[in-house]
Every structure is written in structure tokens, then in C-alpha cells.
Amino acid sequence: MMAHLSTFLVTFSAIFFIVDPLGLVPIFIAITSHNPREKRLAMAKRATLLAFGILAFFAVFGGLVFKLFGITWPAMRIAGGFLLLMTAIDMLRAQPTRTRSSPEEEIEFESKADVAIVPLAIPLLAGPGSIVTVMVLAGRGGTLHAIIPVIVSTALTCLIAYLLLRTADPIQRLLGRSGIAVLERIMGLLLAAIGVQFMVDGAIEVLKQLR
């Protein structure tokens, strides 16, 4: 029982920290400031639902992608860990991660009338880092028992993301940019540890295959 709970907590933590819904709050406010509240809520709902669908798809069918391109799980773990570590470093520095979007893209996003699909769902919620993370986590056991915690964790993360985006303005007023930056750094530290663990696990598997 404790082993299953520990696995779920690691899975949920990895997905939640890489998606980083709290860090999306100021971005969401900035790119939807010209929209009425009803439209902002509708965009938040569509974005989180679409992001869940994308991440769940890759959690279930990610193994087929690996086989198609001849990618091994150890290689994906190492690559995924490296990507998590890059994201964590940006979070520790309280900077927007460039694995999601560039400054030029952010400027373009602010002028879009509807940002639910791009950039909210893709790449801010379901970006390269989160997609690789769910694929690696779902592939650890290669069974349905490994996929279920990933799906549940993804659903919880997207639900939390929707609730945070729905209450973005009060959260921004309550925490302020400095408060959000502090929480980002804490989550970044934990994400860095998870990323390093991914890389260590992948390296160990590679060494076992070489023996």
C-alpha cells in the first residue's frame, strides 16, 4: 500500500511541477486581459480539457511512438530528466521556461483573440516537458498499473490548473509576483530532484544493458 502511495506521489509531483499551473497564472492574466470574464473562463476550461486529452493520449500510446522511432525507455528517461532539469533551473531563477515559449511568441499570444488552444493548451499546459514526462512515467512498468496513476495524476493536475486559472485574479492579488516566484522556486527545487532521478534511473538501465 505504501509503495503504491509513494509511486502515485512521485508521479503526481512530477506531472504537477512540470505543468506548473501556478506559474501560468500571471501569463494567463496577461494574455487574456482584453477578454471579458465569461470568455476567459471558457478558454481556461477548453484549454485544460484539451491538455488532459493530449497528455492522456501520449501516456497511453507513447510506447508506440518509441517503437516507431526505435527509441529505448532508458534513453527517453535520460532525455526527459534533462528536460525536467532545464525547466527546474528556469523555475529556480523565477524565469519563464523557454521549453514552453519564446519572448517573441509571448508577444504574439497577447494579441490573439482566443488563446485556449494555442498557447494555453499547447504548449503552456501540454508542452514538450509534460508530454515527455507522462510518456516516461507511463512506460516505467510497461503495464496498465503504471498508466493508471499517470492518467489520474494528469486529471488532477489539469483540474487544479483550471481552478487556478478560474481564480487567477484573486490569486495574483493575494500572492503577488513575489509570492508566486517563491512558490515557483520551491517547486523548481523538487522538479530538479525528480529530473536528476530520471537521468540516474536511465543511466543505470543503460549500464545493465551493456553488461
pLDDT at 100 over 70: no
> Which pLDDT value is given to residue 142?
61
Domains in the chain: boundaries: 2-210
Cβ-contact 24, 166 below 8 angstroms: no
| Mean pLDDT (whole number) for 182-210 | 89
> Which pLDDT value is given to residue 34?
83
Tell me the per-residue pLDDT of 154-165, one tens digit each, with 9 for 90 and over: 999 999 999 999
| Mean pLDDT (whole number) for 60-65 | 85
Q: How confident is the model at residue 73 (pLDDT cuts 50, 70, 90)?
A: confident
Cβ-contact 125, 161 below 8 angstroms: yes
Alpha-helix runs per DSSP H in 20-143: 21-31, 37-69, 73-92, 103-110, 128-138
pLDDT at 17 over 90: yes
| Mean pLDDT (whole number) for 102-106 | 55
